[in-house]
Every structure is written in C-alpha cells, then in structure tokens.
Chain A
C-alpha cells in the first residue's frame, strides 16, 4: 500500500491479510485524548459488509495493540489500523495480528515490543494442528489463538480458546503456540532486516 504510512501483508497457507497503518494523524476533537494517541482499528472481511464478527475482531486487535504502542509519545493524535482480509482459510486472527505488528514497524510507530500470534486446533482424534485451515477448524473440537509479546515469557497477551477442551489441552496448545510465535518472530526479523538493508542500498546509491 503506497498511500499508507506503513503496511504489511502476512500470508500463511491460503490465508492472506493486509494491514495498513495511517498515523500518527490528527484526531477529531471529540475523539482525541490529551495525553496519548487514540488507536482505532477497522477490519474488513473478504466478502460482504462488515458484521458484528468483524467488530469483535477490531476490538480484539485494538485491545491487544493499544498498550504496546507507545501512545504517550504522540498525544492528541490518531493511529488508524486498517486490516483487509484478502483470503480467509483459517487462522485469520493470528494472521491479522502478525500483519499489524509488521505494518506498525513499517510505519515507524514506536512500540514496546513485537506482538506475534499463532493459532492451533485440537481435532476430534485428539491430535493438535498448528495454523489450521478453515476445514480443520470446522471439524475441530477446540481452537486456540494465543498472542505473545516478544521478550516476555510470563504470560500471553491475548487468548481466545473456544470449543470443548480440558485444562491440559489448553496448556498443550499454549506451549505449541509459544513455540510457533518464536518462529514467526524470527521470520518477521528476517523480513524487516531484508527491507531495511534494501532501503539502505537504495538511499546510498
């Protein structure tokens, strides 16, 4: 996205999410906060008009990123996160979180840490699948999405576990997602380093 201050596309399997950041920009007077930036999220589905399902997603993403963005550095402004689902095939929420993390870095918005997310599903035969497709999710007994702050291992930043599960299954999925997010973080680091070195070469030339 070349009109946005920052953008990123995160794809895993067939799921593809684009996140665009606009900000910090001027906030409307009735919306602004005097000591910090306001964070707004808009989530657009791949097909159709936004529904309460997308409002739920917007709220989840806003709650997750609101405190990790160093909003005190930009009072009375607005940081707008616009997420467009290009193709959904399961694990959309973790893809959206990952795309937004990358886009915020691309936009140069000051962050406390990187936020990475992963989804896993417990299937009816008790096997666990990381990054499930929509088909696997529909057949699963429970699905779990976890997001973690990089460098902090005390606890999850975001949890959404649904279905029919025990505490043991929850803990097992927690550990799997923690590992998966480490890989996602490494991938993000490589992607960002690649972009920065490329830009450095262009400006040096």
Chain B
C-alpha cells in the first residue's frame, strides 16, 4: 500500500494487523489506548451474594474483566494432624467462555498457576480453626470456585478480590455435633466467618520492555515482558510480591509499584464495603 493508502487505514484495521505498533503509538505518548494513565486502575465493582445456591458468593467487575466466586460449604472429617482446622480450597477456572485463548478440556497452565497462587494467598485469609464443629470429628470444608466470565486482562486481581468478597459474604449455619449418632445438625441461625487479614492486590505489567502500566487489559497483556503482583493487607503490610517474566524491572520501579498498590488498597476497600 502506498503512503496515501496507509494514511486512510481505519484505526480498527490497524489495531488488528499491527497490534504491537498500535499500542506503541499510545504508550510512546505516555498514555494508553483506552485513555487511562499509566498508573491508573480500572473502575472496580463488587456485588456480593449473587449466587443464591452458594453459601457465599461475589461478582467482581474490573473494567471489562468479570470474575465470579462461589463458595460451597460441606461438613467433613478433619485431618488427623490438624483436628481443629477446617479446609479452604480454591480453584480458578479459565474456560473458552471467557476468552478465545483457552481451549476446552483440562485446565490450562495459566489456570493451574492462578489456582495455586490464590491457594497460597488464601492461607492468610482465614483462621481455619473457626471452621471447627467438633475437634477431631467434624469441620467445615469450604470450596471456593473462581470462574472467569470475561477475560480482559488482570484476572488475578479480580479473582483475589472476588475471593475476599465471597468470604465476607459467606454465612454458615451454626452446627452441632451429636456424639451419640455421629451426625451434624444445622440450626437456623447463620454466622459470618472472620476474614483475618484481608488481601488487596495490584498488578503492574511491563509492556514492550519499557513501560510499566497498572492493571493491564488483554491487549496490553499480550505485549507483556513481565508482570508484578503486589498484595497488601489492611494494615498496609505486604503479603506477597511476585514478579513473573524476565523483563527487567528496576528496584526503584518495584518501590513505585508498591506505593501505587498502597493507594489502590483504599479504592478496593471502598468497593468491598
């Protein structure tokens, strides 16, 4: 195509066939293709109690990324080594429904890594002895399923917020263990569980080896050289700093991101309550 033809290229066509160049045009001018600032996060919306059949649930919308977390509670026997502790298992599901990137079948590597990472973070959320019904005989086992409905980048942040919100929404019936029959009976009164630490995530992505942007969307994630996850608790102490990918982020950049994460924490706290 000649120069005149290139000048009349529709923007959408350019975005399709030269996605990297398209993004660079914005990034080199210190802005992003959606008009956001580099360190600006997308608007966050949290709706608790969306799923009536689950004991706890929450829907999180982070821009166009939508994630739902549902928690089901079951009674089971505790581990012999920890007779007063219940269980909290987390699973992240990234199905073809949320993005063309995923194929049907066994969980993708991204889903497994996400599941594992959230499982590790969730250890900080609850004191599992709260889930004890009768030491050594019966405990609550919570299984949290985090399903991504729409993938427009930064599913991990949305998933963590959804898990925290679902746990805050969770109501368990008061349960009594009858040692004669070995059965657990549930009363009508419901009670919440205490979320111990609170997790406030913020993901920063190194795009095109040069620009650090907060809360990357799908188009920006495709160009990611590295990404940094910072998770804080409500007192501002760090719970997790995790850098994936080998693109270089300087020590100063990491400090900048941690400070931005602190600001983000207030935004998340507001959306949760």
Contacts from A to B (Cβ < 8 Å): 52-53, 55-56, 58-60, 63-68, 142, 149, 152, 154-167, 170-171, 174
Contact = CB atoms under 8 A, between A and B. Distances in A.
Contact of B117 (A56, A58, A165): A56
Residue from B117, B238, B248, B249 having most chain A Cβ neighbours under 10 A: B238
B238 A166 contact: yes
Residue from A52, A58, A67 having most chain B Cβ neighbours under 10 A: A52
A159 B242 contact: yes
Given A155-B248, A155-B249, A67 B225 contact: yes
Given A55-B116, A159-B254, A162-B120, A68 B246 contact: yes
A170 B258 CA distance: 11
Contact of B238 (A59, A160, A167): A167
B240 A162 contact: yes
Interface of B: 109, 112-113, 115-117, 119-120, 124, 225-226, 228, 233, 237-251, 253-255, 258
A154 B248 contact: yes
B92 to A, nearest CB: 10
Contacts of B258: 167
Q: Is the interface of B mostly helix, strand, loop or mixed?
A: mixed
A55 B112 contact: yes
Contact of A53 (B116, B240, B244): B116
Contacts of A174: 251
Contacts of B248: 149, 152, 154-155, 157
Contacts of B249: 155-156
Residue from B115, B241, B246, B254 having most chain A Cβ neighbours under 10 A: B246
Contact of A160 (B115, B237, B242, B251): B242
A59 B109 contact: yes
Contact of B250 (A60, A155, A163, A167): A155
Nearest to B242: A160
B238 A161 contact: yes
10 contacts: A52-B112, A52-B113, A52-B119, A59-B109, A64-B246, A66-B246, A67-B225, A67-B245, A160-B241, A170-B241
Residue from B225, B233, B251 having most chain A Cβ neighbours under 10 A: B251
Given A59-B113, A154-B250, A155-B250, A170 B238 contact: yes
A55 B109 contact: yes
Contact of A52 (B116, B237, B246): B116
Contacts of B251: 154-156, 171, 174
Given A154-B250, A160-B243, A166-B237, 18 more contacts: A53-B116, A59-B113, A66-B246, A68-B246, A154-B248, A155-B248, A155-B249, A157-B246, A160-B241, A161-B240, A162-B240, A164-B233, A164-B237, A164-B239, A165-B237, A166-B238, A171-B251, A174-B251
Contacts of A163: 239
Contacts of A63: 226, 244-246
Contacts of B247: 67
Contact of B254 (A152, A155, A164): A155
Contacts of A160: 241-243
Given A56-B113, A56-B116, A166-B238, A159 B228 contact: yes
A165 B255 CA distance: 14
A31 B119 CA distance: 30
Given A164-B237, A165-B237, A167-B238, A158 B113 contact: no
B85 to A, nearest CB: 15
A160 B67 CA distance: 25
A153 B245 CA distance: 17
B245 A159 contact: no
A159 B119 CA distance: 18
